[in-house]
């Protein structure tokens, strides 16, 4: 079966991280987010993967090329982000026979994707306590639990099965991809599913674990998930008196100097330099060519490629983009005194992250002056700077 992976989105809720890199290419452990989706499809037996690309398309193409893990990759360009059905329709010419559709910004448990492919026509769902904010599956006991519909954000959810955006479609569905605009002005794949439900028995496949990575703290959660799967491996240059505890990977070409303590899960990518005397606590990703220097503590964070936190700093529960430079003594607060959940601005609105601990999100190229203090839930846009000794309480 071919698999269509949707990766054309702008990722507006992921800004500033998605400003110069498409969301599906943001780092999750040792590969881009969308590579985890493509891997899941390949593991489940996909014979070809069609990537639907649009926003910053070349970055996706450059990574996957024409063949990835021995499986042919082809590309369909979606010119305008007009909805998920429109995205699959862009891939129409690549399709024959049954096909799967997965979101390139979702993490799925592998066993469920295997079952999805086997159970075609099928839809993946996840059991949630409060489904009212999701597309919710209705199922009919009389049809052996087949899916009878998907309702968007229902006031009275018929089940607690939330649509997890992974589908296995019969060959006919290729002809049903042109659906009218929905109320929110998009051509939505759930309308294609509705047609499939009319014509076929559609099996609900329940996922044990699923993560829709839309906002910066979900990128952190994606890393927490995938870093926890790491097996200890030390290929880099590690000083004899450095201490590595638990699942720590030091890639070839990375350096861990004297006095460093790393508590896994942690991944130190090639070319990164840690220490001397740094403390890295899991779950943390230190990207390629990044630097974590003397007396710096990093905890539960993503430090992207080429970023430097060189002296006397604390970074907790944060995501730093590429080529960020934190001046000496820059400290991140990741907890409120009133213990309330940290809020963050998404598309101009303050929303709860549902996390007691969350630090800052810094876009590519951010530079902080020495002794900058950064408050919890702060967003620093691409290229933003701070003055020495500043306490930054508002996004910039
Ligand atoms: P969304 O998460 O709804 O969109 P997005 O990724 O652009 O993010 P944001 O809402 O923050 O702007 O999309 C779900 C998936 O479908 C995601 O993998 C992107 C993909 N997609 C397309 O490829 N084309 C489209 O037209 C739409 C709407 C989504």
How confident is the prediction along the chain (396 residues), in pLDDT tens digits per residue? 999 999 999 899 999 999 989 999 999 999 999 999 999 999 999 999 999 999 999 999 999 999 999 999 999 999 999 999 999 999 999 999 999 999 999 999 999 999 999 999 999 999 999 998 889 999 987 546 899 999 888 888 999 999 999 999 999 999 999 999 998 899 999 999 999 999 999 999 999 999 999 999 999 999 999 999 999 999 999 999 999 999 999 999 999 999 999 999 999 999 999 999 999 999 999 999 999 999 999 999 999 999 999 999 999 999 999 999 999 999 999 999 999 999 999 999 999 999 999 999 999 999 999 999 999 999 999 999 999 999 999 999
Candidates 294, 311, 323, 337; catalytic one: 311
Specify whether 259 is located in the same domain as 307: yes
Q: Which CATH number goes with the domain that contains 89?
A: 3.90.550.10
Q: How many Cα atoms occupy the beta-carbon half-sphere of 300 within 13 Å?
A: 17
Specify whether 159 is located in the same domain as 210: yes
Specify whether 290 is located in the same domain as 167: no
> Is residue 221 in a domain?
no
Range of the domain at 313: 226-392
Which residue, chain included where needed, has tokens 């952190």?
Answer: 220
Specify whether 172 is located in the same domain as 257: no
Pocket-forming residues, ligand 1, beta carbon under 6 Å = 6-14, 23, 52, 78, 81-84, 86-87, 103-105, 186, 214
In whole angstroms, what is the distance from residue 339 CA to residue 388 CA? Answer: 28
Specify whether 248 is located in the same domain as 276: yes
323 Cα–ligand 1 center, Å: 26
Q: Which CATH number goes with the domain that contains 235?
A: 2.160.10.10
Specify whether 105 is located in the same domain as 203: yes
Beta-bridged to residue 73, according to DSSP, are: 49
Q: What is the predicted ipTM?
A: 0.96
Specify whether 254 is located in the same domain as 354: yes
Query: Hey, how many other C-beta atoms are within 10 angstroms of the C-beta on 98?
Result: 17
Count structural domains, the chain.
Answer: 2
In whole angstroms, what is the distance from residue 65 CA to residue 52 CA? Answer: 13
> Is residue 12 in a domain?
yes
Written as six digits, the tokens of 293 are 């220097």
> Is residue 220 in a domain?
no
Specify whether 25 is located in the same domain as 150: yes
How would you class 363 by CB atoms within 10 Å of its CB: exposed for 0-12, middle for 13-18, buried for 19 or more?
buried
Beta-bridged to residue 250, according to DSSP, are: 234, 268
């Amino acid at each position: 079966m071919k698999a269509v992976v949707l990766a054309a989105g702008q990722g507006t809720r992921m800004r500033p991280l998605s400003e110069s890199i498409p969301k599906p290419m943001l780092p999750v452990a040792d590969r881009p987010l969308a590579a985890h989706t493509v891997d899941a499809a390949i593991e489940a037996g996909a014979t070809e993967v069609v990537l639907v690309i649009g926003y910053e398309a070349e970055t996706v193409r450059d990574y996957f090329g024409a063949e990835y893990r021995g499986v042919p990759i082809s590309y369909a360009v979606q010119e305008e982000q007009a909805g998920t059905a429109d995205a699959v329709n862009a891939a129409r010419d690549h399709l024959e026979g049954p096909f799967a559709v997965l979101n390139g910004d979702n993490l799925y448990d592998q066993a469920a994707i295997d079952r999805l492919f086997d159970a075609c026509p099928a839809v993946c769902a996840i059991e949630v306590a409060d489904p009212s904010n999701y597309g919710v599956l209705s199922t009919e006991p009389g049809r052996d639990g087949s899916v009878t519909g998907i309702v968007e954000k229902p006031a009275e959810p018929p089940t607690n099965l939330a649509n997890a955006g992974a589908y296995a479609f019969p060959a006919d569905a290729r002809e049903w991809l042109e659906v009218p605009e929905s109320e929110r002005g998009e051509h939505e794949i759930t309308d294609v599913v509705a047609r499939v439900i009319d014509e076929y028995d559609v099996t609900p496949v329940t996922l044990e674990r699923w993560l829709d990575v839309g906002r910066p703290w979900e990128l952190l959660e994606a890393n927490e998930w995938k870093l926890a799967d790491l097996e200890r491996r030390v290929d880099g240059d590690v000083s004899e008196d450095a201490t590595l505890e638990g699942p720590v990977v030091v890639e070839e070409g990375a350096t861990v100097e004297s006095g460093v303590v790393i508590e896994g899960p942690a991944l130190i990518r090639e070319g990164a330099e840690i220490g001397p005397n740094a403390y890295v606590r899991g779950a943390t990703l230190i990207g390629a060519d990044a630097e974590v220097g003397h007396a710096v503590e990093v905890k539960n964070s993503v430090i992207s490629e080429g970023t430097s936190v060189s002296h006397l700093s604390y970074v907790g529960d944060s995501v730093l983009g590429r080529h960020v430079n934190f001046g000496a003594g820059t400290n991140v607060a990741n907890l409120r005194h009133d213990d309330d959940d940290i809020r963050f601005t998404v598309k101009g609105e303050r929303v709860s992250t549902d996390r007691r601990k969350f630090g800052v999100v810094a876009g590519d190229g951010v530079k902080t002056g020495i002794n900058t203090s950064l408050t919890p839930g702060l967003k620093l846009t691409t290229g933003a700077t701070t003055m020495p000794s500043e306490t930054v309480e508002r996004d910039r």
